[in-house]
Copies of this chain bind each other. A is one copy, B any other.
Amino acid sequence: MTAGGHGGADELDFWSFIRLAQHRLAEEHGFGDRLATELLLTLNRASGIVTYDLEAAVHRPRGRSWSGFRLLFVVWLAGPLEAKKAAELTGMSRAAVSGLAKTLVGQGLLDRTPGERDGRSVLLSLTERGRREMLETFQAQHRREQEWAGVLTEAEQRILIMLLDKLITNRDQFDVRGRH
């Protein structure tokens, strides 16, 4: 068999690639347990596909980015928030929140007011227009979320949430790297 010749790569899709990868990792490189690899590959792929779809179907048509939505979403539901807290809840860096907030303030969706108890901090809150837009946008996203989740039964959804929770909750057992 020539180098790279395993029947031609043309029929490969994501799942047959995973099988091929498993095979070569085991046979040619001697990796034993490959379940973890498959799990994380699948997790990232699933998240990427869903996120891309939501962004393309819901947010870009409205002139909004995925990150912009995430920031507006936490401010919408968790009330006025310090920028630092918003960064924690969205999983972004503080710098990303700072830049994004600048854009969203300019678009009239977000208000930025100085914090009271700490002169350095900044409180983010939605403008009236921001509130209106979030309600409409989230309705659209919610419909699409339900199409996605709908391929699983309710029980399956609950199990999936539980397993994902467990995956990221028990991580204190080793030294995980988080954003600054």
Q: Which residues of A contact B (CB under 8 A)?
A: 3-6, 9-10, 12-15, 17, 20-21, 24-25, 29, 31, 33, 35-40, 42-54, 56-57, 73-74, 77-82, 85, 88-89, 91, 125, 135, 138, 142, 145-152, 154, 156-161, 163-168, 170-171, 173-174, 176-179
Among residues of B, the one whose C-beta sits closest to the C-beta of A80 is B4
Determine the distance from Cα of A180 to Cα of B142 in the docked complex, in whole angstroms: 25
A21 to chain B, nearest CB (A): 4
A121 to chain B, nearest CB (A): 11
Majority-rule SS of A interface residues: helix
Select one of B5, B20, B77, B82 contacting A25, CB under 8 A: B77
Assess the A35–B177 pair: CB atoms within 8 A: no
Q: Find chain B residues with CB under 8 A from A151 CB.
A: 166-167, 170-171, 173
Instruction: Say yes or no: A171-B35 contact (C-beta < 8 A), given A14-B89, A25-B77.
Output: no
